């Protein structure tokens, strides 16, 4: 609820600090005293449109601060958390309006946008004037209000759960249908490409491996050529082995008695043996290498085929296997897509049926709740001088494309102010005074499910008096047992019912005209109600009548 309201330099208000309690607080004062300024100031703190004309003449800025105490479960805390704002014991909204029309907003001294301030304000206070917009006049809120009144939370939850399931299957079917249509349009191309790649059968990492092996083979081939040349130099007819053997034969024939040639022949023998070992080793290396003729050529043919296919499909060689797999999957989607789509269609039909069952159960419960709601509101109308009026809640089935998580119903609160006339929307049928009383009747009936803890009524008793004014006051007092109410009134019957009485006073001094608000004592309250009964000249009779009103209500 609203705890405090601080106003600085707003129109005729210089400095004003007000404390509020629970229940019904009435605000009275002579016409033109400035009661509407209080509403304008409160509206500013709640995110209403800023008008530089609200800044008091001569001041550079107006500041309004509203402090609230709300329970832990109030949705305002969740809204703060969603916007990354810290939570404190109280919720303090502040709006600063400069004379040039610029404004700033904070919550608990943390800067926020005016849009967020307006969202918070809508969760905390509802201001209802004769011609103001009002949540109950917005048909978009009526379905939620009816559900809260009928305590249909479990049915709404079931409707939302089945809707989400149905929506998920619908989306899966849409994606599958789009994919199937896309791949079917390319089916001939896919079959051709997959056929080519089937023959090639690219393997993961194959291109890199072939490229590395090719480099090794190219190097090995050069080495093998060198080994072959060396072997030829050793073992061919005119090679080193043959020449050493020839030299040995020549020297052996020559002979020498002195033995001068023996060392030479021994050296040649050793050389022949070493050459034989070298030749055998070279031959063994060539024999055991494992290299086959044409191996490099075959490897290069495979490598170049992979690279050509990769260039054709604008991927790297190592990406070709993934492309091949994806194209095979897309082709499989053509073959299997129809069956998959049929399964999804069957699932969609089942989830739609489940949703409709939940939504129709919710719709039936809504229609049952309508009977109780309409009867309760109708019972409130005669004492409010609306006995010729008729209130009805319309529950109509929405077109299929407008169904949603909250069901298949459109809910609207309708009224007819005269017998025989067709019911219509609240704001279009009722006059200002009638509308205020209709909304009061609704608020009384819906008090137990109201999400907003503080209501402000601006002259809900306008144009009525006597028993009707007393009936309005009695309902306001009853509403004040569940909610915090601030009521601006000209009715002594309503004022006498207040748990607290605030008097708005305008005074003139050398510094100019100013407005202030006084918290009235019991005696002051009796005097103010006497003024409301008799006018500017307060008589003893008026005081006695005021005392009687207060005592009767007490």
pLDDT in tens, 325-366: 988 887 777 777 778 888 999 999 999 999 999 999 999 999
Strand duo 24-28 + 125-128: pairing = unpaired
Q: Per-residue confidence at 174, pLDDT binned at 50, 70, 90? A: very high
Q: Are the C-beta atoms of 211 and 303 separated by less than 8 Å?
A: yes
Looking at residue 140, its pLDDT comes to: 84
Whole-angstrom distance, CA of residue 470 vs CA of residue 493: 5
Of 94, 93, 99, 116, nearest to 51 by C-alpha is 99
Max CA pair span of the chain: 176
Whole-angstrom distance, CA of residue 221 vs CA of residue 215: 10
Long-range contacts of 380-385 (CB under 8 A, 24+ apart): 380/441, 380/444, 380/445, 380/475, 381/438, 381/441, 383/467, 383/468, 383/471, 383/474, 383/475, 384/437, 384/440, 384/441, 384/468, 384/471, 384/472, 384/475, 385/437, 385/464, 385/468, 385/471
Q: Per-residue confidence at 258, pLDDT binned at 50, 70, 90? A: low
Q: Find the mean pLDDT for residues 269-277.
A: 75
Helices 187-200 and 153-185 pack at an angle, to 10 degrees, of 70
Give pLDDT tens digits for 139-156: 888 999 999 999 999 999
Find the range with the poorest average confidence among 174-188, 254-268, 463-477.
254-268
Whether the per-residue pLDDT at 182 is higher than 50: the answer is yes
Q: Find the mean pLDDT for residues 305-313.
A: 88
Residues 43, 40, 90, 503, CA torsion sign: negative
Of 483, 544, 540, 546, nearest to 520 by C-alpha is 546
User: Which 3-state string (H, E, C) describes 103-169?
Assistant: EEEEECCEEECHHHHHHHHHHHEEEECCCCCCHHHCHHHHHHHHHHHCCCHHHHHHHHHHHHHHHHH
Looking at residue 329, its pLDDT comes to: 82
Q: Per-residue confidence at 66, pLDDT binned at 50, 70, 90? A: very high
Give pLDDT tens digits for 6-34: 999 999 999 999 999 999 999 998 888 88
Tokens of 151: 């305590």
Whole-angstrom distance, CA of residue 143 vs CA of residue 406: 9
Q: What percent of the chain has pLDDT over 70?
A: 89
Strand duo 103-107 + 110-112: pairing = antiparallel
- Give residue 314's region: left, alpha or beta (phi > 0; psi -120 to 50): left
Whole-angstrom distance, CA of residue 89 vs CA of residue 95: 20
Most confident stretch, 262-276, 387-401, 424-438: 387-401
Strand duo 110-112 + 61-68: pairing = unpaired
Output the average pLDDT for the chain.
85
Whole-angstrom distance, CA of residue 193 vs CA of residue 153: 57
Q: Are the C-beta atoms of 320 and 202 separated by less than 8 Å?
A: yes
Find the range with the poorest average confidence among 289-293, 492-496, 512-516.
289-293
Whole-angstrom distance, CA of residue 39 vs CA of residue 51: 14
- Tokens 């290396």, residue? 285
Looking at residue 131, its pLDDT comes to: 42
pTM (2 d.p.): 0.65
């Amino acid at each position: 609820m609203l705890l405090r309201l601080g106003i600085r330099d707003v129109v005729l208000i210089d400095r004003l600090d007000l404390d509020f309690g629970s229940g019904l607080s009435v605000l009275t004062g002579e016409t033109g005293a400035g009661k509407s300024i209080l509403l304008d100031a409160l509206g500013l703190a709640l995110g209403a449109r800023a008008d530089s004309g609200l800044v008091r003449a001569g001041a550079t800025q107006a500041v309004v601060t509203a402090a609230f105490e709300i329970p832990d479960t109030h949705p305002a805390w969740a809204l703060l958390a969603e916007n990354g704002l810290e939570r404190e014991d109280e919720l303090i909204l502040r709006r600063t309006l400069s004379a040039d029309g610029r404004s700033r907003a904070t919550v608990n001294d943390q800067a926020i946008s005016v849009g967020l301030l307006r969202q918070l304000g809508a969760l905390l206070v509802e201001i209802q004037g004769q011609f103001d917009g009002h949540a109950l006049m917005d048909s978009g809120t009526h379905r939620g209000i009816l559900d809260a009144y009928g305590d249909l939370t479990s049915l709404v939850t079931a409707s939302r759960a089945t809707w989400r399931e149905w929506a998920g299957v619908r989306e899966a079917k849409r994606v599958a249908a789009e994919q199937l249509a896309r791949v079917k349009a390319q089916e001939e191309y896919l079959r051709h490409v997959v056929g080519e790649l089937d023959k090639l059968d690219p393997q993961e990492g194959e291109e890199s491996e072939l490229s590395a092996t090719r480099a090794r083979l190219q190097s090995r081939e050069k080495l093998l050529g060198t080994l072959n040349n060396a072997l030829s130099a050793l073992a061919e007819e005119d090679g080193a082995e043959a020449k050493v053997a020839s030299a040995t034969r020549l020297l052996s024939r020559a002979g020498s008695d002195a033995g001068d040639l023996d060392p030479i022949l021994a050296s040649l023998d050793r050389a022949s043996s070493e050459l034989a070992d070298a030749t055998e080793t070279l031959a063994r290396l060539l024999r055991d290498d494992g290299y086959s003729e044409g191996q490099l050529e075959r490897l290069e043919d495979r490598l170049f085929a992979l690279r050509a296919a990769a260039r054709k499909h604008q991927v790297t060689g190592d990406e070709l296997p993934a492309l091949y797999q994806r194209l095979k999957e897309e082709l499989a989607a053509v073959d299997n897509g129809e069956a998959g789509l049929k399964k999804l269609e069957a699932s969609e039909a089942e989830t739609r049926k489940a949703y409709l069952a939940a939504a129709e159960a919710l719709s039936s419960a809504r229609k049952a709740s309508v009977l109780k709601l309409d009867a309760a509101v109708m019972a409130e109308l005669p004492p409010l001088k609306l006995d010729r009026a008729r209130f009805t809640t319309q529950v109509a089935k929405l077109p299929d494309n407008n169904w949603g998580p909250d069901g298949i119903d459109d809910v609207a609160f309708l009224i007819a102010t005269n017998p025989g006339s067709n019911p219509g929307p609240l704001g279009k049928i009722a006059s200002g005074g009638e509308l205020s009383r209709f909304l009061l009747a609704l608020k009384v009936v819906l008090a137990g499910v109201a999400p907003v803890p503080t209501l402000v009524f601006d002259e809900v008793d306008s144009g009525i008096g006597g028993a009707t004014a007393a009936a309005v006051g009695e309902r306001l007092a009853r509403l004040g047992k569940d909610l915090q109410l601030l009521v601006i009134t000209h009715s002594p019957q309503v004022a006498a019912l207040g748990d607290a009485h605030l008097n708005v006073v305008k005074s003139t001094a050398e510094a100019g005209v100013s407005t202030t608000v006084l918290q009235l004592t019991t005696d002051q309250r009796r005097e103010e109600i006497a003024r409301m009964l008799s006018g500017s000249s307060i008589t003893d009779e008026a005081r006695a009548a005021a005392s009687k009103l207060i005592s009767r209500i007490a």
